[in-house]
Amino acid sequence: AQSVAQPEDQVNVAEGNPLTVKCTYSVSGNPYLFWYVQYPNRGLQFLLKYITGDNLVKGSYGFEAEFNKSQTSFHLKKPSALVSDSALYFCAVRDISNFNKFYFGSGTKLNVKP
């Protein structure tokens, strides 16, 4: 079975500082990993994905994520946080036996303070 875990319910960071939102995965095989962001009362928006290739993946709004196979992690990062980045972030892994299904983490609330 595939799963992802987001160990932090909430991350607080000051505007202008770097941010990291953590995600670890459990997959038997090569993982297809995704990050989504959700603003209040809205659906999820795609940020970036890792399928294969470079371990550092660049995505929307200046976000990037680093795939680390030895640590089974896929942490989301941004060099300089903005107040407008405050939202709920979800890590997800694609079911390798059924590519049409995702398993989502429980989400991490990012608070960026001015």
What residues line the site for other proteins (CB under 8 A)?
32, 34, 36, 41-46, 49, 51, 90, 92, 94, 98-107
Its sign, for the CA torsion 6, 90, 48, 103, is: positive
Nearer to other proteins, 15 or 24 (CB): 24
The least CB distance from residue 55 to other proteins, in Å, is 18
Nearest residue (CB) to other proteins, 39 versus 84: 39
Whose Cβ is closer to other proteins: residue 70's or residue 98's?
A: 98
Smallest distance from the beta carbon of 103 to other proteins, in angstroms? Answer: 8
Contacts by 53-57 with C-beta closer than 8 Å and gap 24+?
A: none
Burial of residue 112 (CB within 10 Å: 0-12, 13-18, 19+) is: buried
Strand partners, 38: 44, 88
**Least distance in angstroms from the C-beta of 95 to other proteins:** 8
